[in-house]
Amino acid sequence: MDLLDRLYKAGVLNRVDVEFARLLGRISKMEDEKVLLIPALASRAPRVGEVCVDLNNVNESIQMDLDETEVDISLPSKNEILKLIEGVEFISEYSDKSEPTPIIREKERFYLYRYFKDEMSLARIISKRIKNKSRLIENVDLPSIKQLTQRDDIKGLEGILNSSSLLLITGGPGTGKTTLASSIIECFIKSGIHADRIGVVAPTGRAAARMGEVISEKLKGVSADEIRPTTIHRRFGIHPDRPFYARYDTSNPVDLDLLVMDEASMVDLVTMTRVFEGLPDDCIVIMIGDPDQLASVQAGSVLTDLCRSSSVHNKAELRLKRRFRFNESIGRCADLINGDKESPDEFVNFIKSSSNSIKYDDLSKPDWMDSAIEKAYSKYIKLKEYARDGKVEDAVRILSEFRFLSALRRGRYGCEAINERIKKRLGESKDRWFAGRVIMITNNDTNRNLFNGDLGVVVRVGEGLKVAFPDYSKKSGDETMGVDKGKRVRFFDPYNLPAFEDAFATTIHKAQGSEADEVVLLFPPDDSPILTREILYTGITRAKENLTIFAKPEIIRKCITTPIKRSSGLREKIDGLKIHSN
């Protein structure tokens, strides 16, 4: 069996990867599959989150797939491949002056042309932005930001905005990133920048809505009404099926003076490039995010690359470390995961001996899974009682108080199976609507102001059932009612919703961008490629007050010592190696 077919059978390549490579082979009369391996792997790269294939870590990249199928395939060596591709007509180094080839080579990295083009474009724009301040900043009263925030840890903010038109506000959960960004928006408005020239975007509708809540609370006036946070795709006219094109570009930029992007860690390379290409040069860009969290499911880890760039870190990043709404022990867990030195044993010892806010189950008892289900049951049986008795406020409140998160979606220890076990424990059948059923929206519905990731609970209202969603916006659902602290609940008919799924338990990925007072975190007893430092960190930092971890010590150690590695040349380009510069 040929090399590509073996990799296809092992699940490393899909049929598109194989056929793309062989098409280039037929056109160029190249039959050597060791050469065709390059376009096949370059085609695969974006599907697994990478921008390119890097010969220095390609074996590590495909090993995760091979481990899943227990197939042993040896790839040709780096030197052998580099020798074989010499003179191959569908591979070339990039030049502004010549026609590009389908595969672009940069040192020992190989890209599909479109991804190379986007990486190069974004690197050039970022490099330009960190070297040039916006003319608009001269009219902004920057010292007032400190007064508005009452923070003493933002001393570098003025210096960044006085020398760069890009600002990265980074830090873990609870460090006040969005609140600081809202204060900057307030400062700009008070300095004369009109609210309709300020854009606020996020990669998901849920994140945009949450940013809107913070801005409304901060501004409390007409300006807050004029600033309408939305998704990146909607604001820049990017269609999911045509990600390489947008309504706005360098020749037709969007009319903004300030752009604030929340949850920037979730934005992929292609989308980020469309955003920066669609902005006028003088527009000031503020990116908010936690580079230690899980990156986008699409290609690239842009925020992480920017923070690892010495140029960006030194000239444009403001790292917030002081936590305002975070349990001290949970904060210590986060620090141990992402400390200067890997400390898996120290982390395990810490959670074993931690305070009452952190509980740890090492899966040594045979009934550990039952214990995890009972942990969820104790919360959801109360929610079911509230929902059945029409106590809507109490039922909805539990949605923000408790989350059960699994690292996996499928399999015995995935959230799908856990959801079924919890429903069975509650005495309910598989698909039946019942008071107390927790669901999560999986498709955006902007007309109803329901977004992917929104949690709702089925409650009894009168003689029937409705799905109640917590609401902080000005839009209403089918019906609304007031609840505590000015929040509201919106009701929808169970049979008149966008796509949804059960959500007594969800994946850690799905919980990204949200928090709860108490979180139960479950990891499978066996190793999996998905178990990384980022997924452990993201799961732990969803909890604000109390955390329960179900995981073997060796799985935790594996996570901490396994950071996600995504092949990319963005950081290297920005840091001034003058690759292909004009």
Domains contained in the chain, CATH given: 3-107 (1.10.10), 120-325+566-577 (3.40.50.300), 328-473+486-551 (3.40.50.300)
Q: Would you write out the chain's pLDDT as a tens digit for each of its 582 residues?
A: 688 988 888 888 999 999 999 999 999 998 898 999 999 999 999 998 999 999 988 887 787 666 555 566 778 888 998 999 888 889 998 877 778 899 999 989 999 999 999 999 999 999 999 988 888 888 887 777 776 776 767 778 888 888 899 999 998 887 888 888 888 888 888 888 888 899 999 988 778 888 888 888 777 665 656 788 888 988 898 887 788 888 888 899 999 999 999 999 989 999 999 999 999 999 999 999 998 888 888 898 999 999 999 989 888 888 887 776 667 788 888 888 876 556 788 888 888 886 778 899 899 999 999 999 999 999 999 999 999 998 998 999 998 899 999 999 888 899 999 999 999 998 887 668 899 999 999 887 877 878 888 899 999 888 889 999 987 554 444 444 444 434 578 899 988 899 999 999 999 988 887 888 999 999 999 888 888 899 999 999 999 889 999 999 999 999 998 888 888 999 999 987 444 433
Distance, CA of 403 to CA of 504 (rounded, Å): 8
- DSSP-derived letter for residue 138 is G
Residues 439, 453 contacting (CB under 8 angstroms): no
Distance, CA of 176 to CA of 408 (rounded, Å): 30
Structure tokens at 9: 């059978």
Question: Which position has the token pair 């003319």?
Answer: 135
User: Measured over all CA atoms, what is the biggest interatomic distance in the chain, rounded to whole angstroms?
Assistant: 75
Structure tokens at 207: 């994140």
* H-assigned helices in 268-391: 269-277, 302-308, 310-316, 328-337, 344-352, 368-388
Residues 360, 354 contacting (CB under 8 angstroms): yes
Three-state DSSP state, 205: helix
**Per-residue confidence (pLDDT) for residue 297, from 0 to 100:** 80
Residue 76 CB neighbour total at 10 angstroms? 17
Distance, CA of 83 to CA of 151 (rounded, Å): 57
Residues 203, 263 contacting (CB under 8 angstroms): yes
Cβ-proximal residues to 519 (8 Å cutoff; 6+ apart), any chain: 402, 403, 404, 405, 539, 540, 542, 543, 546, 547, 548
Question: Which position has the token pair 């991804």?
Answer: 115
Residues 564, 337 contacting (CB under 8 angstroms): no
Residues 168, 174 contacting (CB under 8 angstroms): no
The backbone torsions φ and ψ at residue 534, rounded to the nearest 5 degrees and listed phi first, read -65, -35
Helix (H) or strand (E) holding 419: helix 415-425
**Per-residue confidence (pLDDT) for residue 161, from 0 to 100:** 85
Cβ-proximal residues to 331 (8 Å cutoff; 6+ apart), any chain: 172, 174, 323
- DSSP-derived letter for residue 433 is -
The backbone torsions φ and ψ at residue 405, rounded to the nearest 5 degrees and listed phi first, read -120, 135
**Integer distance in angstroms from the first to the last C-alpha of the chain?**
45
Count H helices and E strands in the chain, helices first: 24, 21
Residue closest to 211 by CA, chosen among 289, 324, 291: 289
